[in-house]
């Protein structure tokens, strides 16, 4: 047995809150550190109501962002983007899946999938307000965008197509 394992046994009385967000259903978060705080950008699933989404399926119409200075106490900054704010979305699909957010050149870029495409919203602060670009990213379709910014400043977008 290693010392690390013995240390874990000695600390078996530690407790954590799981999930972090207790008042709403969130999933697939991106965690980023901005301005000395941890920010979570999850998808947000809401309860089914007739005429609002599809019964027995995900109903994701908006995004919230949460921040914490100590990883125990979380602030909900509210809705930062709603499907009704997406000018290129032709119908409400309730499919705002896992997003991502990055900081580059003094702005925060929030990448989000909906309607089979990936869009971008831009803000001056990590909690918004975010302004959606008038068109989705050309040639990019799918879900779960992830942005990697290399040491040289080059940015790369990765996404899934469901395959």
Going by C-alpha positions, the residue among 75, 16, 86 that lies closest to residue 40 is 75
Identify whether the C-beta of residue 69 lies closer than 8 Å to the C-beta of residue 84: no
Per-residue burial over 9-47, b if 16 or more Cβ lie within 10 Å, else e, is eeeeeeeeeeebbeeeebeebbebeeeebbbbbbbbbee
Stretch among 14-18, 91-95, 121-125 having the lowest mean pLDDT: 14-18
pLDDT at 31: 93
Residue 116 in tokens? 């089979």
Separation of alpha carbons 129 and 63, rounded Å: 12
Going by C-alpha positions, the residue among 159, 10, 21, 152 that lies closest to residue 78 is 21
Going by C-alpha positions, the residue among 114, 119, 127 that lies closest to residue 76 is 127
pTM, two decimal places: 0.84
Residue 2 pLDDT level (bands cut at 50, 70, 90): very low
pLDDT at 7: 46
Separation of alpha carbons 48 and 84, rounded Å: 18
Higher-confidence residue: 159 or 91?
159
List phi, psi (to 5°) of 104: -155, 135
pLDDT at 152: 96
Residue 79 in tokens? 């809705």
pLDDT digits (tens, 9 = 90+) for 33-73: 999 999 999 888 887 777 777 777 778 788 999 999 999 89
Instruction: Give the helix/strand (H/E) hosting 9.
Output: helix 3-10
Instruction: Give the residue-averaged pLDDT of 96-122.
Output: 95
> In Å, how far from its chain's centre is CA 64?
8
Place of tokens 């309730």: 94
pLDDT cut 70: percent of the chain above it:
85
């Amino acid at each position: 047995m290693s010392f690390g394992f013995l240390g874990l046994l000695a600390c078996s009385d530690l407790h954590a809150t799981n999930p972090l967000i207790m008042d709403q259903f969130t999933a697939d978060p991106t965690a980023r550190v901005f301005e000395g705080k941890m920010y979570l950008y999850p998808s947000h699933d809401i309860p089914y109501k007739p005429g609002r989404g599809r019964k027995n399926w995900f109903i994701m119409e908006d995004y919230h962002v949460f921040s914490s200075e100590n990883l125990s106490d979380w602030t909900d900054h509210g809705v930062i983007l709603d499907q009704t704010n997406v000018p290129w979305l032709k119908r409400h699909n309730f499919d705002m899946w896992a997003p991502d957010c990055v900081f580059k050149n003094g702005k925060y870029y929030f990448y989000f999938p909906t309607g089979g495409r990936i869009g971008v919203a831009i803000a001056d602060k990590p909690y918004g307000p975010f302004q959606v670009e008038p068109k989705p990213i050309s040639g990019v379709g799918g879900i779960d965008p992830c942005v990697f910014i290399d040491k040289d400043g080059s940015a790369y977008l990765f996404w899934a197509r469901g395959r």
